[in-house]
Amino acid sequence: MLFDAPDFDAHEGVHWFADRATGLRAIIAVHSTHLGPAAGGCRFWDYASDGAALTDALRLSRGMSYKNAMAGLPLGGGKAVILKREHKDAALLEAFGSAIESLSGKYVTAEDVGMTDHDMTVIARKTRHVSGLPVSPAAAGGNPGTAAAGGNPGPSTAEGVFLGIRAAIRHKLGRDNFNGVHVAIQGLGSVGMALAERLHAAGAKLTVADIHPDRTARAARDLGADVAGIRAILATKADVLSPCALGAVLDETSIAALNVPIVAGAANNQLATPADGARVQARGILYAPDYVINAGGIINVAAEYLGAGDAASVTAAIARIEPRLADIFATADADGRSTDVVADAMARALIGR
């Protein structure tokens, strides 16, 4: 039963959608609406099974509740996954938009892995409960975002991760700048590449990995990065490991092989199990809780959807990620708890759990 699923956490609703005409198969998980509508992106992914898709939706939606609460946003947490089919066409996206609309505003979507801001404009033909639209009204096909913020949230996520890494190296290494700091980045998508560029400009040394050779080649050519294998990079000797691909990369085996004092990256659900936070702590490694450090993207799309800010206010809100993490690190040191446990306790209090 769903209620017995390991990652079911008193979710308010888990909705399954199938559309025979378009082939749509999707899950929308609403974890909490305590602070507002459940906001979280949609992932378009080739899952090994329906159960794997459900697990992802449950874990990601809970993470969004925590992320939005810790970012101080008037939003709850939700997540959607579309089980990948051969073609992602307009008809499928419109069917997904209709599915969102049927929830009457309880869930607000945006782009995540496998989705783009253009996809959001197609979804917006069937529902207004969508964000991450292109900034240009012309590009948005008449469905622009409501704030000067908006568009692809990747760069905003990357900026928050950059600031979070800065908080981590200050706390763990006593460093006030990135000159010579070695960062190993797993994943060079819209977030990982933007982060790599930001770190390079700040003087960091980079090692990168991605499943797409053209991306690592670009980083090597333009940023002077060394290149490692997508799994091998987890054991790279560096100052910071920054997972920016998919989640669950920190498990018993990979944690034992870590060769860094800091893990701080953009990927969601980096800890494979609740026990893995304690494993990281036991190794003396500082972990930046993923839903705190990677909140820049949702801060951006929230401003757009709520019509409650512009680019300057988004930048100011993202800047607060750095002191927020500094507080978590200090609290964890003071009471001996792992950083993920400290952050979870803060977030659950904010959502009334």
- Buried b / exposed e along 19-34 (16+ C-beta atoms within 10 A): beebebbbbbbbbbbb
The active-site residue out of 67, 79, 172, 205 is 79
- As given in the structure block, the two tokens for residue 333 are 């040191």
By the 8 A CB rule, do 181 and 240 touch? yes
What CA–CA distance (Å, rounded) separates 208 from 185?
Answer: 5
DSSP 350: H
CA–CA distances in Å: residue 108 to residues 97, 116, 232, 342: 10, 15, 37, 28
What CA–CA distance (Å, rounded) separates 7 from 83?
Answer: 19
What residues does 18 pair with on adjacent strands? 25
Q: Provide, for the chain, the percentages of residues in helix, strand and coil under a 3-state DSSP scheme, each rounded to the nearest 5.
A: 45, 15, 40
**For residue 67, how far is the Cα from the chain centroid?**
9
Whether residue 205 lies in the annotated active site: no
Closest to 134 measured CA to CA, from 163, 164, 111: 111
The residues assigned a catalytic role are: 79
